[in-house]
Amino acid sequence: MSAVVSLSNVHKSFGAVKVLKGVSFDIGASEVIAVIGASGSGKSTALRCINALETIDSGEILVCGHKVHDAALDRRALRRDVGIVFQSYNLFPHLTVAQNIMLAPSCVKNMGKAEARALAEQVLAKVGLLEKADNYPEQLSGGQQQRVAIARSLAMQPKLMLFDEVTSALDPQLTGEVLRVMEDLARAGMSMILVTHEMAFARKVASKVIFMHQGKVWETGPGAMLDNPQTKELSEFLSNGL
């Protein structure tokens, strides 16, 4: 099976600070990859490089057939195939939930209003928020807003979903409702990469866990590796309760 995502010897620096130091990994179709590690280990930078939000210094990144490392990359085409959800919801406060979701399909895919509305209702049903379609973001809890952000990405019908610590600003109850949506996506076969501190979720849902340390892939394996770390660094990371 060809990889949906392939990173090969990726390097990335910000000024004199080397953040990624030869990162390589592959992700197959329908795989769920959890990327874990301490702050500053390069997790979120790797995710942003996959979606071309950051330009790499050297190496190669292939994503859904797109050569992300190529200067001629069509970023618009890449982002039709790759959805990304951040810690901050980034919803437009002056638009209803449905209008937030309809915006990209209307602008990028030239979808008509009725079709876009039907699509918005479909993805809202998928995240359990169909009844909130005509509410404004300020009328929703943080967990509900994050689920709308996920629905907005799903509306573009991506081949790959990226999640960057999407629950880190939420309390445990709201975290649970967002993680349930992500678990449903995993069961439905969506290819996903999630940067997370939710170890129990990584252990349960991820087909592969990647532990990053000091800008490198330090240890990788199935979720069960969290119960039996092979390196001192992963053992110390887990013992810190992160």
Query: Each residue of 109-128: pLDDT tens digit?
Result: 889 999 999 999 999 999 99
Q: What is the pLDDT of residue 109?
A: 85
Q: Band of the pLDDT at 242, cuts 50, 70, 90?
A: very low
CA angle centred on 67, ends 104 and 45, rounded to 5°: 75
Domain holding 82: CATH number?
3.40.50.300
Q: What is the model's pTM? A: 0.91
Which pLDDT tens digit goes with each residue over 199-215? 988 988 899 999 999 99
Q: Supply the pLDDT for residue 15.
A: 94
Nearest to 27 by CA among 194, 198, 230: 194
- Look at the chain and report how many structural domains it folds into: 1
Whose structure tokens read 């099976």?
1
Position 241 scores a pLDDT of 59
The sheet that has 216-221: what strands, in order across it?
82-85, 160-164, 191-195, 32-36, 208-213, 216-221
Does residue 1 register a pLDDT over 70? no
Lowest mean pLDDT among 25-34, 120-129, 173-182, 228-237: 173-182
Could you give the CA distance from residue 242 to residue 239 in angstroms, rounded to a whole number?
A: 8
Q: 140 is in which domain, residue-wise?
A: 3-239
Q: What are the φ/ψ torsions at residue 49 (nearest 5 degrees)?
A: -70, -35
Averaged confidence pLDDT in the chain:
92
- Give helix 97-108 / helix 113-126 axis angle, nearest 10°: 130
